[in-house]
Amino acid sequence: MLVAGNWKMFKGPEEARAFCRGLRDLALPGDVDVVVCPPYVSLGQAVQVLAGTEIGVFAQNCHWAVDGAFTGEVSASMLLELGVYGTIVGHSERRQLFGDTDETVARRAAAALAAGLHVIACVGETEAVLRRQLSVLDHDDNLVVAYEPVWAIGTGKTATPELAQEAHEVVKSVLDVPVLYGGSVKPGNARELLAQAAVDGALVGGASLELEAFEAICQAGSLS
C-alpha cells in the first residue's frame, strides 16, 4: 500500500520543513509506504528533514536528458544527487497545461527509471485514453501507475470504489504494476477506495497539504 502526497505548487522550503517535521514525528502505519512530492525548490528541505525515516521524497516531474539547454527542466541525476527517491510523471496538469504528451511522458518515465528513480506515472480517462497512455510505458519493478480520472482531480468528485476497481483492472490488464487511485481522495472516502482489491494506494493532492488529513489517509491504507 502506497500513499503519495502531491503538493503541486504549494509549500515553499519553510513550509515544507515544518510539514515534514510534523510528518516525521507521527506514528505512521508500518504497512503503508508514505511519500511526499514537494515542488522542486522544497525537495532539499524535505530530504533533509526526512532522512533516516521510511518516508520517501518524490519530485513532481523529471526531464529525460542528463543535462543540456532545457530551461526550467530538472534531470533525474540532479534529483538523485539531492537524495530524491522518485518522481511523478505525466500528471494531468502537466499534460493539460504544459504540453506533456504520451511521448514526452514515456521519455520522462524511461529516463527516470533508467537512472534509478522510482516512478509514479499518471494516466486518466477514458478507457481508450487509458489504453493509449499505457501503451507507451514498459513494465518496470520500480514503476507504479496512478489512475486519475481528470474530472475527479481537485473537484471534490470521487470515483466510486466500484468504478476505481474496474478502471484499475483495465490498467493491470495492460500493464502489471501497482495502481494508485487519484482524484479527491479525502479522509472520509479513503478507506473504501483503498479497500478495493485492485487499488494499491492513493495519489493525494489537496488533502495531502494538511498534516491531519494526510495522516488519516495513511491510516486508512493500513491493513487494506
Binding site for ligand PEP (CB under 6 A): 6, 8, 148, 153-154, 182-185, 203-207
The answer to whether 164 and 188 are in contact (CB under 8 A) is no
CA distance 145 to 124: 10
Nearest CB to ligand PEP, comparing residues 68 and 154: 154
CA distance 9 to 11: 7
Nearest CB to ligand PEP, comparing residues 80 and 216: 216
148 assigned to active site? yes
Joined grid coordinates for residue 32? 503503508
Catalytic residue among 63, 91, 118, 168: 91
At 9 the three-state DSSP class reads coil
The CB-of-52 to ligand PEP minimum distance in angstroms stands at 27
Nearest CB to ligand PEP, comparing residues 178 and 206: 206
The CB-of-92 to ligand PEP minimum distance in angstroms stands at 7
Write the single-letter amino acid at 101: T
Nearest CB to ligand PEP, comparing residues 8 and 95: 8
The CB-of-205 to ligand PEP minimum distance in angstroms stands at 2
CA distance 92 to 26: 31
**Residue nearest ligand PEP, Cβ-based:** 205
3-state secondary structure 86-154: EEEECCHHHHHHCCCCHHHHHHHHHHHHHHCCEEEEEECCCHHHHHHHHHCCCCCCCEEEEECCHHHCC
The CB-of-153 to ligand PEP minimum distance in angstroms stands at 4
Catalytic residue among 63, 93, 118, 148: 148
Point out the residues that are catalytic.
91, 148
